[in-house]
Chain A
Amino acid sequence: MTLLLNEEQSMLRDSARDFLRENAPVAQLRQLRDSHDPAGFAGPTWSAFAELGFAGVAVPEAHGGTGLGAVEIGVLMEQIGRHLSALPFLSSGVVAARLLQLAGSPEQQAAWLPRIARGEAIATLALDEGPKHRPEAIALRAEAHAGGWKLSGTKSFVPDGHVASLLLLAARTDDGVAIFAVPRDAAGVQVERTLMADAHNAARVLLLDVALPGDARLPAGDAALLQQALDFGRAAAAAESLGIADEVFERTLDYLKQRRQFGKLIGELQALQHRAATLYVDIELARAALSKALHALDSAPAQAAEAVAIAKAKCGSAATLAVQEGVQMHGGMGMTDQLDFGLFMKRVRVLQELYGDAGWQMDRLARLRGY
């Protein structure tokens, strides 16, 4: 095993970078935000992204995807982070696709995976109910009802919820956690877009006596497989954070080499040099931890929990430091909406909360290690 990218993976990185730089740069996110775009992402960009095979990177070839692995997901997510691309890839192409593949019936997979891979349908996991990620404390009940199911309750912080045509809904049944495939237009489903600080998509989902047929339940969907699908999402969010950290650090380093005060470049000041060097080491640690997690997901996903928790915690912390230092070292300009640092900072904050912040990951690591 090697933690370095192979030739194909490097080529994937380069083509994703070129595509996103051209088609989904930070400027596009600004435009979507400032025009109050109802979809919150650019449809044509998403279609082109899917046509290049990116949206289906985690979908098996049998279902129309490219059948690549976690490392390739990470490669794409880093580039998405660097460009702050507003695309429903993480929610649909990674977490929902992986959950359907792990736990869905052949019919559910055949109905949804090809459309997810082609970017024609967006699916998303509706999981959290309170302000923090608590997959072990899912309370929304699914009651057996007339050979099917009846669900009532609320889900919050559902990524791309208002543009999804399929909600994968985690609920509690008499025999534990279950996952249900809920069409967005099912009777009793209300989706309310929640405008977030990062100008990316999220929604609140209300279910009022939503009646589902028996085969809406994902046959293998339980707490363990849910965690496994989430681990792909966690590693992907970690990769997006790392991409942001890299981008912000590069821009900040450039600024330290250009900005003059006191008759010299501020990059000559040892106080800033040491902070930049410390941040550099932190980002390299995060990169290594992430590679380890992505390889663990590719080789033995059920045993990858520790490595994923470590990567999500470390990438989150490194990216948090990167955006804070980015703003601070740019001084007043760092605080302006004109520069991009605020946008990066907001996205990192959202990515921290998504699928468990650093504190949650560390608690999980401690539990896994028996203390």
Chain B
Amino acid sequence: MSETTTLEGFRAETRAWLEANCPPEMRQPTAGEDDICWGGRNARLGEPQRLWLQRMGERGWTVPTWPREYGGGGLSADEAAILAQEMRRLNCRSPLASFGIWMLGPALLKFGNEAQKREHLPKIARGEIRWCQGYSEPNAGSDLASLATRAEDCGDHFLVNGQKIWTSYADQADWIFCLVRTDSAANKHTGISFVLFDMASPGVSTKPITLISGKSPFCETFFDNVRVEKHNLVGQAGGGWDVAKYLLTHEREMIGAIGERAQKQPLGAMAVESLGRDATGRLDDPALRARIAEFEVDEAAFRALMQRFGEQARAKQAHGAFSSALKYYGAELNKRRQELIMSALGSGGLEWQGSAARDWLRSKANSIEGGTSEVQLNVIAKRILELPGA
């Protein structure tokens, strides 16, 4: 049987399974953040959400390309692409949003030992444990490698002391993957280690930060003599920076794709709905119409670029630092989109109980979180363009 026949067979089976198993409620567009399923010990899921997560988790299709022995679906890249297409066709919601899937999982697959993979990956796949990311500190933002949270070697365990900031959903997460300094004598990149621990451990506390959007997706996170067992060290002691950088490439792809995942109404149509047409049938705001068209050119080009990048990655032709280009442009594009939505909605978008103004304000963080746009441009200049200088 040819490869194509096999793939078309897979498509037919997948379609049939999704039609039989995706609850009708899970084929409606998400109305807001509350509709997103993050899983975890404290998740409060509606019955359709719970069922959808359970069914997809059992097949490993929350993480289609991960190996089956770690709770994944064991699908090839082509099969995973077909699954995504068929899910889009039926408007299936993503069963699980997860930093474990997007960030920690790929890092564990590459750097984790066998016991760590078997312990953590299946729970990520089934949405049982919700993870947060302990990277930034008050004095280590763009210069992340200058982080100061200390992990003292106490024989069979570390004792962790310090503070993280901008920890997304730390107050709702079950476990944290965290960068700590294990060797203060070493230079700043080689003294860092990558550790995992339970957020319910004694000595961990979190404090949400209210943002300009009025929401609190980020926390300050404090560690006061937190005991971390040695077997929760990922990679070598002092080798955490390599894990951190690898994980960041995945985070960048995730943030870069934010505007695309949302699948909102096209901007031009939204503006026509809000502002109407002039006598010639054009959007009744010529300057805004031109800005939207310019945006839609760039948006379509960005989609094509993501498709191209995916194909290059599968053909092993992608540049390792290209995620920085996607992160940079995707973040800037989403900020433009939100500005244009505000212009299209006018005073109607300013009402604080609606979501437009909050989404607009939230988008300003896109070019800060996961490495600022300026940091991404530095990475492109140095690693892709190979321009000189430190």
Contacts and interface: CB of A to CB of B under 8 A. Distances in A.
Interface of A: 2-4, 253, 256-257, 264-265, 267-268, 270, 273-274, 276-278, 280-281, 284-289, 291-292, 306-307, 309-310, 313-314, 359, 361-363, 365-367, 369-371
Nearest to B317: A4
B298 interface: yes
A277 B377 contact: yes
Given A4-B312, A267-B388, A267-B389, A284 B325 contact: yes
Interface in B247-287: 266, 268-269, 271-272, 277, 282-283
B271 A274 contact: no
14 contacts: A3-B304, A268-B389, A270-B381, A276-B381, A277-B380, A284-B325, A289-B300, A310-B297, A314-B301, A362-B293, A362-B294, A366-B293, A367-B282, A371-B283
A289 B304 contact: yes
B385 A280 contact: yes
B297 A274 contact: no
B21 interface: no
B381 A277 contact: yes
A2 B309 CA distance: 11
A265 B308 contact: no
B315 interface: yes
A288 B378 contact: no
Contacts of A4: 308, 311-312, 315, 317
A2 B272 contact: no
Contact of B301 (A264, A270, A285): A285
Given A278-B377, A369-B266, A291 B289 contact: no
The size bracket of the interface on B is 35 or more
Given A285-B329, A370-B268, A277 B282 contact: no
Given A274-B377, A313-B297, A371-B282, 9 more contacts: A2-B311, A4-B311, A4-B315, A4-B317, A273-B385, A276-B385, A366-B283, A369-B269, A371-B283
Given A274-B381, A370-B268, A362 B308 contact: no
B296 A369 contact: yes
Interface of B: 266, 268-269, 271-272, 277, 282-283, 289-290, 292-294, 296-298, 300-302, 304-305, 307-308, 311-312, 315, 317, 325, 328-329, 374, 376-378, 380-382, 384-389
A280 B384 contact: yes
Contacts of B374: 274
A284 B381 contact: no
A4 B301 CA distance: 15
Contact of B272 (A273, A280, A370): A370
Contacts of A3: 304, 307-308, 311
Contacts of B290: 359, 362
A134 to B, nearest CB: 15
B311 A276 contact: no
B280 to A, nearest CB: 10
Contacts of B272: 370-371
Contacts of A306: 300
B289 A281 contact: no
Contacts of A2: 311
Given A3-B304, A291-B304, A268 B380 contact: no
Nearest to A279: B385
Given A4-B308, A265-B389, A366 B300 contact: no
Nearest to A2: B311
Contact of A366 (B282, B315, B382): B282
Contact of A273 (B293, B302, B378): B378
Contacts of A270: 378, 381
A289 B381 contact: no
Given A267-B389, A292-B304, A365-B297, A281 B325 contact: yes
A371 B289 contact: yes
A239 B307 CA distance: 19
